[in-house]
Chains A and B, each alone.
Chain A
């Protein structure tokens, strides 16, 4: 059984650019949630996908968008990057509302 994997592990982008982060969910899981963790803060919920549909969204602007694919892997897209978007982005997968398992995260730096 493979765990949650995220790619890339690190990324540097310029303000105004767009970025796509990827997450492969754990085998058998159909739900993916994305979190943003700024330095010194706890993870903050961005949105969740269940069976390819958005199933809840936190307080993030529309330039944060996502997708879930038929194999339940997921992407997080951020448009018009701002300096404050610099953070660790965490993906967590679960089977419905069961325990969520986290990936190791993608560290995004916006310069």
Chain B
């Protein structure tokens, strides 16, 4: 069965520091990987997906099939990045059915 692991419940950094949110997955097929973000009092929204290779709000994530990882990175954290981040996996070729990790709360202090 597929599984997504986010080992850190909480990651606390200072503004301007680099950020790396870890995500590891297990799936025997060829998955699609996503990062979702939930800002305070807002709904869950897509941040980025691995196949688009985009950089959104300065965040990037590279799929490493050898290490089965999809870590989210940003070189310089901003206070407005404080939010809950979820890594998710899709088994079919699309977004609709997602397996989520437990999430990592990112707190960026001034």
Contacts and interface: CB of A to CB of B under 8 A. Distances in A.
Interface of A: 4, 31, 33, 35, 40-45, 48, 56, 58, 90, 92, 94, 96-105
The 10 nearest A-B residue pairs measured at CB: A97-B94, A42-B100, A102-B44, A100-B95, A43-B100, A104-B43, A42-B102, A102-B43, A99-B95, A42-B101
Contacts, number: 58
Contacts of A35: 98, 100
B70 interface: no
A90 B93 contact: no
B44 A90 contact: yes
Contacts of B93: 97
7 contacts: A31-B96, A35-B98, A35-B100, A41-B103, A42-B88, A42-B102, A101-B45
Contact of A41 (B45, B46, B88, B102): B102
B92 interface: yes
Contacts of B103: 41-42
Given A42-B6, A100-B46, A101-B45, 19 more contacts: A4-B43, A33-B98, A35-B98, A35-B100, A40-B102, A42-B88, A42-B101, A42-B102, A43-B98, A44-B100, A48-B96, A48-B97, A90-B44, A94-B94, A96-B94, A99-B46, A100-B95, A102-B45, A103-B43
